[in-house]
Amino acid sequence: MSVTYAQGFSAAGVVAGVSSVAGKKDMAVVVNEGPLDACAGVFTSNRFCAAPVQWSRSVVADGHITAVVLNSGCANACTGTEGFEQSKASAEEVAKELGIQSQQVAVCSTGLIGELLPLDRVLSGAKEALRQRQSDEQSGIDASEAIMTTDTQPKTVQLDGKGYRVGGMVKGSGMIAPQLATMICVITTDAVVSAGALQAALNSAVDMSFNRIDVDGCMSTNDTVLLLASGASGVEPDPDEFNALVSQACAQLARKIIGDGEGSSHDIRIVVKGAEHEDAALACARSVAASNLLKCAIYGNDPNWGRVVSSLGVVPEDIAQYRPEDVDVVINGVKVCDGGKPGQDRSLVNMSAREVHIDIDLHIGKAETTVWTDDLTHDYVHINADYES
């Protein structure tokens, strides 16, 4: 269902010839048919942010957009003013077709960095996608397929509030790091919500979802999360319920990114508890999640807690207080490290499930947080050594 689960949205995904994979759907549109056109956005903090990010950040700033045009196969990143003109031209083409202003059109691109778009194909693909757009289930699925790159499956969400709906799609599989870990995500709702309330809901949701996952520690130039409200349900939601629903949508999509992390064979949930404050717990969890050595060990079904604590040990004391001799590490329910020393025998740990749970207790406070990552596999290396070819 994806972005068309909420009323008041149409979408399409088409083959435009932008991707180098023949016959792959590579362009999508999502159109907010109204009555509202409220929106919110969160973008990459990478200083080499791509042309479409520069464009979209600017047009989303006033809290109103009507359409999003998206392509895979080319990121239009590090392409200078010419790249920016291409993103602008894409928005203008969509605006012309819809009879709106180009400032009402956001643009998202994903794929290779450092190459300009094949603009003719993008413009004709955008027109074709707009012509084909519908509000049915299949159109939403088509759009979610069109934004895939190394993703092995489309990633969507659909949730129900009291009298309104939230739908969404995301692409992302590699170049996934906190702040912001996604690549491209569009969430739609037919609730009646102001742009300000949307932005607040989105900021909070992103912080607890896309900012808590890490496939490979590499931050993209193109990360974009958009939240669009059509108001088509006519329902003004309870703010707390709405915020929770948006958070749930982002959390489910983030979890699906981890489940589809490039080449991954294990999804690794890292919980750090007993921290003085949440930032300390987060710094510890992220340091563990970033360890190539740990991620290789998990791939080898080895509950190597030495690589957990050696990663914890890199976090400076002024960031996270703890005493090494107090720290426990539990892997899939087995306390392999007890007070900084060997605990139960690591051979007791069952590593056969896809999910691996690493629970770390710092024993110095009450704060807790969760971060997800993937294991580091032969296939990750294969995918990323050969992505160009």
Contact status: 377 vs a copy of itself (CB under 8 A):
yes
Minimum CB separation of residue 337 from a copy of itself in Å reads 7
Minimum CB separation of residue 268 from a copy of itself in Å reads 14
Active site residue 182: yes
Question: Is 262 annotated as belonging to a binding site?
Answer: yes
Site for a copy of itself in 197-216 (CB under 8 A): 216
Question: Is 188 annotated as belonging to a binding site?
Answer: no
Minimum CB separation of residue 288 from a copy of itself in Å reads 11
CB-neighbour burial class of residue 361 (10 A; exposed 0-12, middle 13-18, buried 19+):
buried
Given the complex with a copy of itself, which of 333 and 342 has the nearer CB atom? Answer: 342
According to CB under 8 A, which one of 7, 10, 46, 224 is a site residue for a copy of itself? Answer: 46
Question: Is 156 annotated as belonging to a binding site?
Answer: no
Question: Is 171 annotated as belonging to a binding site?
Answer: yes
Minimum CB separation of residue 16 from a copy of itself in Å reads 22
According to CB under 8 A, which one of 290, 356, 358, 371 is a site residue for a copy of itself? Answer: 290
- What DSSP line would sit under 57-98, residue for residue? HHHHTTSB-SEEEEEEEE---S-HHHHHHHHHHHHHHHHHHH
* Count of residues touching a copy of itself (by CB under 8 A): 67
Going from the C-alpha of 135 to that of each of 2, 7, 84, the distances in angstroms are: 10, 8, 30
Who's near 385: CB < 8 A, 6+ residues apart?
Answer: none
Given the complex with a copy of itself, which of 98 and 296 has the nearer CB atom? Answer: 296
Residue 139 CB neighbour total at 10 angstroms: 25
* Annotated active-site residue in 150, 182, 221, 377: 182
Going from the C-alpha of 180 to that of each of 36, 42, 175, 203, 261, the distances in angstroms are: 27, 8, 10, 11, 15
Going from the C-alpha of 286 to that of each of 46, 134, 217, 280, the distances in angstroms are: 18, 41, 9, 10
Contact status: 381 vs a copy of itself (CB under 8 A):
yes
CB-neighbour burial class of residue 203 (10 A; exposed 0-12, middle 13-18, buried 19+):
middle
CA distance linking residue 17 with residue 42, whole number of Å = 28
HSE, CB side, 13 Å, CA atoms: give it for residue 261: 32
Contact status: 115 vs a copy of itself (CB under 8 A):
yes
Q: Which residues pair with 338 in a beta bridge?
A: 341
Contact status: 385 vs a copy of itself (CB under 8 A):
yes
Question: Is 384 annotated as belonging to a binding site?
Answer: yes
Minimum CB separation of residue 382 from a copy of itself in Å reads 7
Site for a copy of itself in 308-347 (CB under 8 A): 309-315, 317, 324-325, 336-337, 339-342
Given the complex with a copy of itself, which of 366 and 382 has the nearer CB atom? Answer: 382
For residues 321, 324, 328 and 330, what is the CA-based torsion angle, rounded to 10 degrees?
100
Residues at the contact surface with a copy of itself, assessed by CB under 8 A: 46-49, 75, 77-80, 82-83, 112-116, 174-175, 177, 216-221, 290-293, 296-297, 299-300, 302, 304-307, 309-315, 317, 324-325, 336-337, 339-342, 376-378, 380-389
Binding residues, by number, are 149, 171, 182, 262, 384, 389
Binding-site residues for substrate sit at 149, 171, 182, 262, 384, 389
Give the residue numbers annotated as catalytic, written as ranges: 182
